[in-house]
């Protein structure tokens, strides 16, 4: 078997349970967004030194494959498809709550900058939000597991808190945007 199938040469691909579809189908867009998210999370890991956090992010990378399997099998009733579950959502919520007790919630927007690890965590958060939007766009085409959207939403919140924590660990002060208005008024 070869890596290339030549199906894509005509702008088509296969989707689990749906047969041959166009590559610009929203379902394929959602898979692509999840793939991009997992890839940028892998790059982010290159800049994370804390071993406990590295293990957590590696677990999340595996969870993202489960998100993809859940998305692919959304129309299937078989019990053999791994689904995102409430425990995975609660793990993220617990981790967010722990960081919240340490950092608090900022009362203003925070610029996505600071340390290298913080910047990559912010980038990963932004890509998570794009993946979430792509999942929302297919939720009416497929019968998505509602926990799938909740998990991805919590993941972006968690990455936001991790980015803030990465700056705090290095004593990098959070910066708020400065708004400038043209003219009087």
182 assigned to some structural domain: no
38 assigned to some structural domain: yes
Domain count, the chain: 1
Per-residue pLDDT 10s for the chain (185 aa) are 788 888 889 898 877 666 788 889 898 999 999 999 999 999 999 999 999 999 999 999 999 999 998 888 776 666 677 889 999 999 999 999 999 999 998 888 999 999 999 999 999 999 999 999 999 999 888 888 899 999 999 999 999 999 999 999 999 999 988 887 755 55
CATH of the domain at 109: 1.20.1200.10
Classify 181 in phi/psi space as left (phi over 0), alpha (psi -120 to 50) or beta. Answer: beta
133 assigned to some structural domain: yes
Owning domain of residue 150: 26-169
Helix (H, G, I), strand (E, B) or coil at 13: strand
C-alpha angle 108-109-114 in degrees, rounded to nearest 5: 120
105 assigned to some structural domain: yes
Sequence-separated (6 or more) residues with CB below 8 Å from residue 177? 109, 111
Q: pTM for the full model? A: 0.90
51 assigned to some structural domain: yes
Angstrom distance (rounded) from CA 7 to CA 15:
12
48 assigned to some structural domain: yes
8 assigned to some structural domain: no
Angstrom distance (rounded) from CA 110 to CA 16:
40
């Amino acid at each position: 078997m070869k890596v290339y199938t030549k199906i894509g040469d005509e702008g088509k691909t296969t989707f689990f349970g749906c047969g041959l579809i166009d590559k610009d189908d929203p379902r394929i867009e959602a898979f692509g967004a999840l793939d991009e998210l997992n890839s940028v999370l892998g790059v982010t890991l290159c800049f994370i030194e804390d071993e406990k956090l590295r293990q957590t992010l590696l677990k999340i990378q595996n969870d993202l494959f489960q998100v993809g399997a859940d998305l692919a099998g959304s129309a299937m009733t078989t019990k053999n498809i791994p689904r995102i579950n409430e425990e995975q959502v609660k793990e993220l919520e617990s981790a967010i709550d722990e960081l919240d007790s340490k950092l608090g919630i900022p009362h203003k927007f925070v610029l996505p900058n600071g340390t290298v690890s913080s910047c990559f965590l912010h980038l990963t958060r932004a890509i998570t939000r794009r993946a979430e939007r792509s999942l929302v766009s297919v939720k009416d085409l497929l019968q998505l597991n509602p926990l799938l959207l909740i998990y991805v939403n919590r993941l972006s919140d968690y990455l936001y808190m991790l980015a803030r924590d990465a700056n705090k660990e290095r004593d990098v002060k959070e910066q708020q945007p400065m708004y400038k208005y043209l003219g009087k008024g």
